[in-house]
Structure 1
Amino acid sequence: MVRISALRRTGYKKSEASREQVIDAAIRVLAKQGIAGTSVQDIADAAGLSKGAVHYHFESKEELLERVLDRCCEIVEARIRAVFAEGGLPLERIHRALVEMWTVRRDSVREMRVLTELHILARQNKRIRKACGEALQRACRQMIDTGLDQLLAMGLKPRVSVEIIPRLIMATLDGLALQQEIDPVSPETESEMIRALQATTMALFEL
């Protein structure tokens, strides 16, 4: 019995490892080729596994895309939490978080490229739209818990519902990132935009 249990644990670890392998490979391929240009076979090849192995872990491409969405959000959110956790005054920490949120969009890191692809797909795919909506809600909650609560603790009161503020910030950053792709601005203008965004955020609060 001990030997059988050990074998099962080993098999489980291998299964989890190959599952993670598929997700990581999917992010790499999707960031490079886009969703429309990527097949399950492409992902299997990048992972060094068979197509059957991919289907063993994920019943459909949609299920795989949902897990890819989760992983991309985790990676981006971890970057923002890391810079916010570096310490300093609340306003300094919020400024660093805004800079990082802009940086991941401006540099079009692969996770953000994949998230953009998934958001486009969400317009036609109800299952992916639901997953993207849930991811947005989690991101908003993280922003409130890790950043905006700091302002509330300082005694500042929101002029609008605090639930709206993260959506306004992310929508502004997403729009600016799209403009940056079409008509890039100088680093000086970028810095000015971040300062303006910070000022806009602070204007949503009052003493």
Structure 2
Amino acid sequence: MGSSTERRRSPNQQAKQEQIIEAAKEVLARDGLAACTARAVADASPLTKSAIHYYFDDMDEIIDGAMERHMAGCLDRIREAADRHERPVDRFWAATRTYLEIFAEQPKAALLWFSYWVDVGQKARPEPIDRMHQMMIAVLRDLLADIPVDDPPARAHAFFSYLLGTLMQQAVRPLPFSELKPEIATVCRLDPGLS
């Protein structure tokens, strides 16, 4: 039998899975990855620990679903910020500022993502986080291609790597966006006249 997400579920069963994933999302945001256990998820949902085990094969499956929800919310907010602007360069800067603001508003979020990254790496199952990273890189690539810059896929990948490092730096010693902006322009090879 395949994973529980591959099994055919009734609408009621799908609703219960949604409740579990939403509860896990809440636990992850509030308490972090190490605290996201079946018991903690059950306590945050109307379901029991046994129901959680019934609807999902393991906690990794639940955590992956919850982290994907976190990523989807982040991407929605970034797209909304970009969509408020007409000029491609303004769209890029709005999206970038919003990405950094999301993590500044939720100081535990960067640590959660890095904990998740380490966890999937240690378990030799990088597919979920790679899929999420590729979603973010695609958004950045599209924003950079609209400006345009040389080789948007390579610039987007380099920029995403820069952002990951910057998130950790911001958690330790936050810098204002005005100080990060010249570095970002360099990483993305933006024409200085466009900033």
- Letter of the structure 1 residue corresponding to residue 101 of structure 2: T
Which one is further off, 82-91 or 31-40? Answer: 31-40
User: TM-score by structure 1 length?
Assistant: 0.78
Aligned-residue sequence identity (percent) comes to: 22
Tell me the residue number matched to 1:198. Answer: 185
Which one is further off, 107-116 or 34-43? Answer: 107-116
Structure 1 runs of 4+ with >6 Å offset: none
Tell me the residue number matched to 1:171. Answer: 161
Which one is further off, 65-74 or 30-39? Answer: 30-39
1:16 to 14, 27, 51: 14
Alpha-carbon distance in structure 1 between the residues aligned to 2:51 and 2:131: 28
RMSD: 2.4
Matched, 1:64 2:62: yes
Structure 1 residue 14: Cα displacement: 2.8
Alpha-carbon distance in structure 2 between the residues aligned to 1:117 and 1:179: 16
Tell me the residue number matched to 2:145. Answer: 149
Structure 1 residue 194: Cα displacement: 2.6
Unpaired runs of 5+ in structure 2? 1-8
Alpha-carbon distance in structure 2 between the residues aligned to 1:56 and 1:109: 33
Structure 1 residue 76: Cα displacement: 0.8
User: TM-score by structure 2 length?
Assistant: 0.82
1:116–1:83 CA distance, 2 compared to 1 (3 A): same
CA contact (8 A) 1:34 1:114 kept: yes
1:115 match: secondary structure:
helix
- Letter of the structure 2 residue corresponding to residue 190 of structure 1: F
Larger Rg: 1
1:47 match: secondary structure:
coil
